[in-house]
Amino acid sequence: MKNKQVIFNDWGLIDYKEAWDKQEALFSDTVNLKIKLRNQQTDTEGNENYEYKPTPNYLILCEHPHVYTLGKSGKPEHLLLDEKGLKEKNAVYYLINRGGDITYHGPGQIVCYPILDLDNFFTDIHLYLRTLEEAVILTLADYGLSAGRYPGYTGVWFDADNERARKICALGVRCSRWVTMHGLAFNINTNLDYFKYIVPCGIDDKDVTSMRKELGKEININEVKKILKHHISVLFNMELL
């Protein structure tokens, strides 16, 4: 039985480590429950009274204070600030367990953490990433912005086919037993100066942008959250709770 119900939460502006710990707890609980349910199902095969209970799913949106995170495949030298520089920029730095290289999170950026059991949707991590990208592409289209993908890279880009290529959304996920965590970072009113202190996602010859920069005005981030949440729910055929 596939469980399409997804518990939605907006954590607002939350410390990165606090959000990471909360994610880890939900992720671990889901993985452990999945293992337990699978074992129970195996032990009760042929029992007509056995009722399988599906695993839960979560969709979380939030913002973080200034923080740099480095994924498992990243290079520490892609952070261009030392400890003193981080303190001067009022930023912190974490090595984390997602895929991908270094990225920045900060106020004015929507961070989306889907904690999904993909057995409830589809077991294809590449399709999962492309679907998250599509939700961002559709959200931008609602604002009259035409974005797309950059062949060979994850994320959402403008003008990916020429020298003006610039990234507006980064992706980095972890998946175990088809349960996901981490997710995407979507620049809305982000202070793009903070990207000058890293080699974003390990790419040193491309620019980073935001909706505010592309549209030339401040954007209502809560409105964007609603639109993004809608597109994610439709593309995944979710029933949001």
**Active-site amino acid positions:** 201
Q: How far apart are CA 5 and CA 56, in angstroms?
A: 7
DSSP class of 101: S
CA distance 168 to 152: 16
**Secondary structure (DSSP) of 141-179:** HTTT---B--TTS-SEEESTTSTT-EEEEEEEEEEETTE
CA–CA gap between residue 56 and residue 140 (Å, rounded): 29
Please say whether the beta carbons of 179 and 128 come within 8 A. Answer: no
The encoded tokens of residue 239 equal: 């029933």
CA–CA distances in Å: residue 196 to residues 76, 191, 209, 227: 15, 10, 12, 29
What H or E segment, with its residue span, contains residue 67? strand 67-70
d(CA 106, CA 110): 9
15: Cβ contacts below 8 Å, ≥ 6 apart = 64, 65
